[in-house]
Amino acid sequence: MADDIVVLDHITKRFPRIVANDDISLSIKKGEIYALLGENGAGKSTLMSVLFGLYEPDEGRIIIRGKEVQIHSPREASALNIGMVHQHFKLVSDQSVTENIILGIEPTVKRLGILSRLDMKGARERIRKLSSDYGLDVDPDAKIEDLPVSARQRVEILKMLYRDAEILIFDEPTAVLTPQEIDSLLHVIKALRDGGKTIILITHKLDEIKKVADRCAILCRGKLVGIYDVNSISTQEMASLMVGYEYTDEVNKKNYSGGDTILQVENVTLYNQDKVKVVDDVSFCVHKGEIVSIAGVAGNGQVEVADVVAGMLIPSAGRIVYKGMDITGKSIRERTEEGIAYIPEDRQDVGLLLDCDLAVNLALKSYYHEPYCSRGILKPVEFRKNGEMLIDQYDIRSSEGCSTIVRSMSGGNQQKAIIAREISLDADLYIFVQPTRGLDVGAIKNIQERILALSEEGKAVLLISLELEEIMNLSDTVIVMYNGRIQTVRKRSEVTANEIGYYMMGAKHEA
Partner 1 sequence: MKHEGYKKAVVRMLGPGRTQYLRVSLFCIVISLIAGSVLLALLGKNPLEGYVSILQGAGFLPKARYAGHRSMFTDFMSLVNYTTPMIFASLSFAVAMRCGIFNINISGMMLFSGFIASITVGYSSIPAPFAQILVVLIGVISGALSGALVGWLKHRFNANEVVISIMFNYIVSYVISFFIQTMFVDPTTRQSVRVGDNAMLTGVDTMVGDLRMDISYVFPLAVLAVVLIGFMFSKTRIGFELKAVGMNHNASRYAGIRIGRSVIFSMALSGILAGLAGVSYYMGTFGSIQPRVIPTLGFDSIAVALLGNNSPIGCLLASFLVMTISNGTTYMSSRLGVLREIASLITGILLLFSACGGAFKALADRYKEELKSENKKGGSR
**Binders of partner 1 among 269-308, rule CB under 8 A?**
none
Which of 336, 436, 448, 487 is in the footprint of partner 1 by CB under 8 A?
Answer: 336
Q: Which of 352, 452, 464, 504 binds partner 1 (CB under 8 A)?
A: 352
Our finding on whether 312 is near partner 1 (CB under 8 A) is yes
Q: Is 356 in the site for partner 1 (CB under 8 A)?
A: yes
Q: Which is nearer to partner 1, 106 or 346 (CB)?
A: 346
CB nearer to partner 1: give 100 or 361. 361
E strand residue ranges, 308-428: 317-322, 325-326, 340-343, 373-374, 377-378
Nearer to partner 1, 333 or 491 (CB): 333
**Which three-class secondary structure state does DSSP give residue 26?**
strand
CB of 424 to partner 1, least distance (A): 14
Does residue 324 touch partner 1 according to CB under 8 A? no
The least CB distance from residue 422 to partner 1, in Å, is 11
Q: How far is the CB of 372 from partner 1 (least distance, A)?
A: 9
Under rule CB under 8 A, how many of the chain's residues touch partner 1? Answer: 25
Among 38, 57, 344, 506, binds partner 1 (CB under 8 A): 344
Which residues does 420 contact at the CB level (< 8 Å), separation at least 6? 362, 390, 391, 393, 394, 396
Q: Is 314 in the site for partner 1 (CB under 8 A)?
A: no
Cis peptide before 371 (omega within 30 of 0): yes
Q: Which residues of 388-421 are buried (b: 16+ CB within 10 A; e: fewer)?
A: eebbeebebebeebbebbbeebebbbbbbbbbbb
Nearer to partner 1, 233 or 431 (CB): 431
Q: Residue 289 and residue 454: Cα distance in Å, rounded?
A: 8
Out of 355, 399, 441, 511, name the contact with partner 1 by CB under 8 A: 355
Q: In what order do the strands lie in the sheet with 18-29?
A: 18-29, 4-15, 59-64, 67-69
Cα-to-chain-centroid distance, residue 184: 24
Write down the least CB distance from residue 427 to partner 1, Å. Answer: 13
Choices 72-80, 248-256, 289-297, 352-360; region in contact with partner 1 by CB under 8 A: 352-360
Q: What is the DSSP letter of 320?
A: E
Task: Assess 354 for contact with partner 1 (CB under 8 A).
Answer: yes
Q: Which stretch binds partner 1 (CB under 8 A): 36-44, 119-127, 331-339, 473-481?
A: 331-339
Q: Using CB under 8 A, which of 73, 331, 393, 403 touches partner 1?
A: 331
Answer for which of 92, 353, 389, 453 binds partner 1 (CB under 8 A) is 353
Dihedral, CA of residue 225, residue 231, residue 235 and residue 236, to nearest 10: -80
Among 92, 109, 149, 332, binds partner 1 (CB under 8 A): 332
Residue 344: CB atoms within 10 A of its CB come to: 22
Stretch 367-386: interaction string toward partner 1, x if CB under 8 A:
xx----x--xxx--------
Closest separation in Å from C-beta 93 to partner 1: 17
Alpha-carbon separation of residue 7 from 4, 26, 66, 195, 469 (angstroms): 7, 6, 8, 21, 32
Closest distance to partner 1 from the beta carbon of 425 (Å): 11
Task: Using only the alpha carbons of the chain, give its radius of gyration.
Answer: 26
Which H helix or E strand runs over 225? strand 223-229
105 binds partner 1 (CB under 8 A): no
Residue 365 binds partner 1, judged by CB under 8 A = yes
- DSSP lists the bridge partners of residue 277 as 271
d(CA 169, CA 160): 10
* Residue in 350, 410, 469, 499 binding partner 1, rule: CB under 8 A: 350
How far is residue 315's CA from residue 435's CA, in Å, rounded to a whole number? 24
Q: Which parts of this chain interact with partner 1 (CB under 8 A)?
A: 312, 331-333, 336, 342, 344, 346, 349-356, 360, 364-365, 367-368, 373, 376-378
